[in-house]
Amino acid sequence: MLYSLHELAYQSAAPFRIGAQMARTFWTSPINPWSDTAIGRTAYASAELFENLTRRYGKPDWRLETVDVGGKPVRTAERVVWSSPWCRLVRFERDVTDLRKAGKPTTAPAVLIVAPLSGHYATLLRGTVETFLQDHDVYVTDWENARNVPMLEGRFDFHDYIDHVRAMLGQVGPGAHVVGVCQPGPPVLAACALMAEDKDPNRPASMTFMGSPIDARLSPTVTNQLAEERPFAWFKSNMIHTVPLPYPAVGRRVYPGFVQLYSFMSMNEDKHVDAHQRYFGHLVDGDGDSAQKHAEFYDEYLSVLDLTEEFYLQTIDIVFQQHLLPRGLLKHRGRTVDLTQIADIGLMTVEGEMDDISGVGQTQAAHGLCTNIPDDRRVLYVQPGVGHYGVFNGRRFRDEIYPRVCDFIALNEEAVGGLSARPAAAA
């Protein structure tokens, strides 16, 4: 019912959005003599703010047609190399001619970046991908919005996620380096353990976890406490809703992205209100640069996707309530996930000192669980002065975290004899 009411509210606001768009056009028209007056700018700002707050934010584009490599522009192209109804594996192919002009090698270690499936699209990692493209052949998981997957495609749960990670590592090939950002930590670690136990030739050379709840019992945050304090039945009763028409997945039970978005925004309500007040002021003052930065951030932040009921509830149960992986009790398709089987895969953990989503200690717990990894193939790093998003994005990530991750990947690339090196795309 909530999902249907949400759609009704959106559709009901359509005439007002059209009116706001017309007002915006009128007050910015060069033939309007009042457009550059205080009244005109205020009217335009009001229409722009209303339209932005009530419109539907779709999946953002990657916008990575060109990246900076060694101070030179290098063209990239997105290519889907594997897909299922639930995910596309996207490779960002770098142009070999541009790499030569930049004085960079035309082969590079393959890195699979596993994006979180927790409400936002994979494009939230645009800055992460762009940074890794300086030195690596980058693949990224591009998860599908559950409301777009018809019921005939079946379910998608926590264990399907593990299987997807294994399948995508198999597609990338032997010796790749996997990077799990936030939510993927537990299922990626489980997939690596299963591949190690099976002596899978496509098991990764290294795994890096950034701000991941490997053991959510440590340094619990507000998010962790909510998951632990509420009974499991509460999440099923209050967080799960049915996809309405006109979406392809009509009838599917999901955790709607808008519910998670409202939850996150309510945690920092004053911050978001202040940001939009400043945005309104920038529009009135004609400060286009500041207004553009605000718009770019919220275009990404307000773009959300739905999760399937089974994936969301199993994640709550397995990761945040029963803590099955760190307790050694997680079973996948009837097999116990044994982290001690990992012996020839490097391990790096990255945490933010001020992370209020995955507290310090939750990610580095992986070191104590993977006891058979050699010490010379481990790195434990805590970045001072950053919160959750600063672990994988922003200036501190680019200048201080990424160089350490890059060195770690190079160390493990050497350990496996450059097994993952992939040629760049032809010009």
pLDDT tens digits for 355-411?
999 999 999 999 999 999 999 999 999 999 999 999 999 999 999 999 999 999 999
How far is it, in rounded angstroms, from Cα 196 to Cα 206? 12
Note the pLDDT of residue 189.
98
Closest CA to 264 of 118, 391, 122: 118
How far is it, in rounded angstroms, from Cα 44 to Cα 38? 10
For residue 363, report the phi and psi dihedrals to the nearest 5 degrees: -80, -45
8 A C-beta contact, residue 208 and residue 184: no
More confident residue, 163 or 29: 163
How far is it, in rounded angstroms, from Cα 68 to Cα 90? 19
The owner of tokens 């039945």 is 233
pLDDT band at 153 (very low <50, low <70, confident <90, very high): very high
pLDDT > 70? residue 427:
no
Determine if the peptide bond prior to 244 is cis (ω within 30°). no
pLDDT > 60? residue 417:
yes
- The count of C-alpha atoms lying within 13 angstroms of the C-alpha of 17, restricted to the half-sphere facing its C-beta, is 12
Q: For the segment 322-367, what is each residue's pLDDT rounded down to a tens digit?
A: 999 999 999 999 999 999 999 999 999 999 999 999 999 999 999 9
8 A C-beta contact, residue 332 and residue 159: yes
Ramachandran region, residue 407 (left: φ > 0; alpha: ψ -120 to 50; beta: rest) = alpha
* 3-class secondary structure per residue, the chain: CHHHHHHHHHHHCHHHHHHHHHHHHHHHCCCCCCCCCHHHHHHHHHHHHHHHHHCCCCCCCCCCCEEEECCEEEEEEEEEEEEECCEEEEEEEEEHHHHHHCCCCCEEEEEEEECCCCCECHHHHHHHHHHHCCCCEEEEEEECCHHHCCHHHCCCCHHHHHHHHHHHHHHHCCCCEEEEECCCHHHHHHHHHHHHHCCCCCCCCEEEEECCCCCCCCCCCHHHHHHHHCCHHHHHHHCCEECCCCCCCCCCEEECHHHHHHHHHHHCHHHHHHHHHHHHHHHHHCCHHHHHHHHHHHHHHCCECCEEHHHHHHHHHHHHHCCCCCCCCCEECCEECCHHHCCCCEEEEEEECCCCCCCCCCCCHHHHHCCCCCHHHEEEEEECCCCCHHHCCCHHHHHHHHHHHHHHHHHHHHHCCCCCEEECECC
For residue 76, report the phi and psi dihedrals to the nearest 5 degrees: -130, 155
207-232: average pLDDT: 91
Q: For the segment 164-188, what is each residue's pLDDT rounded down to a tens digit?
A: 999 999 999 999 999 999 999 999 9
Q: For the segment 105-137, what is each residue's pLDDT rounded down to a tens digit?
A: 999 999 999 999 988 999 999 999 999 999 999
Cα 194–Cα 198–Cα 201 angle in degrees, nearest 5: 105
Q: For the segment 256-308, what is each residue's pLDDT rounded down to a tens digit?
A: 998 887 776 776 678 777 877 887 788 788 777 887 887 777 778 788 999 99
Note the pLDDT of residue 65.
94
How far is it, in rounded angstroms, from Cα 86 to Cα 224? 27
Note the pLDDT of residue 121.
94
The one-letter code for the residue type at 238 is N
Closest CA to 139 of 115, 119, 116: 115
220-242: average pLDDT: 89
pLDDT > 70? residue 426:
no
Note the pLDDT of residue 267.
64
Q: For the segment 10-69, what is each residue's pLDDT rounded down to a tens digit?
A: 777 778 778 878 878 877 888 888 778 888 788 878 878 878 777 778 899 999 999 999
Rounded to the nearest 10 degrees, how much is the dihedral formed by the CA atoms of 23, 25, 26, 31?
170
224-244: average pLDDT: 91
**Cβ neighbourhood burial of 424 (10 Å; 0-12, 13-18, 19+):** buried
Closest CA to 89 of 107, 117, 123, 114: 114
The owner of tokens 């990404």 is 300
